[in-house]
Amino acid sequence: MRLDKFLKVSRLIKRRTVAKDVSDQGRIWINGKEAKASSTVKIGDELMIRFGQKSVTVRVERISETSRKEEASEMYTVIKEESNQD
């Protein structure tokens, strides 16, 4: 599944256009490598996403074309959350 679609379906980022913009700005990594919106996400991949003052690392647990709000959080496990403030 494309990275931008995974971020939207899993609700890590609410809109696909925002997910594309964030990845195009170089703020998302898959398994330690900078990722584009079109990068492929697989089960077991680790995503690190920088949101302004916060970084979140998640492991992909499930891939699904669609998900209800209650199921979205089952698509990933949060491994680490850090504040980027100095």
Reported as a single tens digit per residue, the pLDDT across 16-73 is 999 999 999 999 999 999 999 999 999 999 999 998 889 999 999 999 998 888 889 8
Tell me the residue range of the domain where 54 lies.
Answer: 3-83
* Per-residue model confidence (pLDDT) at position 73: 87
**For residue 37, what is the domain's CATH number?**
3.10.290.10
The gap between the terminal CA atoms of the chain, to the nearest Å, is: 35
* Per-residue model confidence (pLDDT) at position 85: 65
Model-wide pTM > 0.85: yes
Token couple for 52: 């302004």
* Per-residue model confidence (pLDDT) at position 86: 52
Instruction: State how many domains the chain has.
Output: 1
Average of per-residue pLDDT across 3-25? 93
Residue 10 has pLDDT above 70, yes or no: yes
Average of per-residue pLDDT across 9-19? 93
Closest CA to 19 of 55, 67, 51: 51
